[in-house]
Amino acid sequence: MKVLVPVKRVVDYNVKIRVKSDGTGVDLANVKMSMNPFDEIAVEEAVRLKESGAASEVIVVSVGPAQAQEVLRTALAMGADRAILIVAEGTVEPLTVAKLLKGVALAEEPGLVILGKQAIDDDCNQTGQMLSALLGWSQATFASKLELSGNTAKVTREIDGGLQVIDVTLPAIVTADLRLNEPRYASLPNIMKAKKKPLVQQTPEDYGVTPAARLSVLRVEEPSGRQAGMRVSSVAELLDKLKNEAAVI
């Protein structure tokens, strides 16, 4: 069984981005970029499936600019076998990404597609669900545990009230939550080896998709900020403030 893992190149999670003063977007010049953290978890899960013998091949795919090769190489260094880069400049909306991934899935016929639950730049939390809908394959989002048996997967999902366990028929779409695993760091020898692993470039047109934005971003604003308040020196002073100044208790 092949496992397909879509990975997105995003602003590193440690970076605090700035809104451009003209309101046209956020300033991404010279900002550190990395693999979306949820996608590292997805890659790790796929590689573990391969190591346990449940998967035969791990294919990673990214939609993005030429530099997205770097995150694909990182995934290869973590243990993925080969990579596909679908070259597209600028913002590509989740619906378009899902249509492209559908094309890849139909060509590769994986038994599982593991995505991140959310890209930490657009915070959309949509692509996996959309891909599942477009393919008509089963869907298990926000996974914190994944167990394969025969042609089904038992998935534990993180939901608002706790956890939910479902069985999904393969092929299935799974989206990874934080507790699914702890991704490994690629070792230096594996980083070297990854340079020789196959990485092919495609275009959206190869999959019959023309990226066109459906939503218009009218402007990007600074969030209303918060000022640091005051330091209190004792529990008694804190309680006094909460009761008499803030009136919240």
Interface residues with ligand FAD (CB under 6 A) are 13, 37-38, 120
Q: Does 117 bind another protein (CB under 8 A)?
A: yes
Residue 54 to residue 173: CA distance in whole angstroms: 16
Q: Does 194 engage in binding with ligand AMP (CB under 6 A)? A: no
Q: Which of 3, 35, 95, 209 binds another protein (CB under 8 A)?
A: 95
Q: Which stretch binds ligand AMP (CB under 6 A): 38-46, 75-83, 149-157, 209-217?
A: 38-46
Give how many residues touch ligand AMP by CB under 6 A. Answer: 23
| Of residues 122 and 206, the one with the C-beta less far from ligand AMP | 122
User: Residue 234: left if φ>0, alpha if ψ -120 to 50, beta else—which one?
Assistant: beta
* Dist CA 217 CA 19 (whole Å): 14
Question: Which residue of 48, 129, 191, 193 would you call a contact of another protein, by CB under 8 A?
Answer: 129
> Residue 122, interface with ligand AMP (CB under 6 A)?
yes
Residue 232, interface with another protein (CB under 8 A)?
Answer: yes
- Our finding on whether 57 is near ligand AMP (CB under 6 A) is no
SS3 at position 205:
helix
Q: Give residue 143's identity as a one-letter amino acid code.
A: A
Where does this chain touch ligand AMP (CB under 6 A) — which range of 57-65, 193-201, 212-220, 225-233? Answer: 57-65
Nearest to 69 by CA among 35, 32, 30: 35
The answer to whether 39 and 15 have CB atoms below 8 angstroms apart is: no
Place of tokens 């449940």: 54
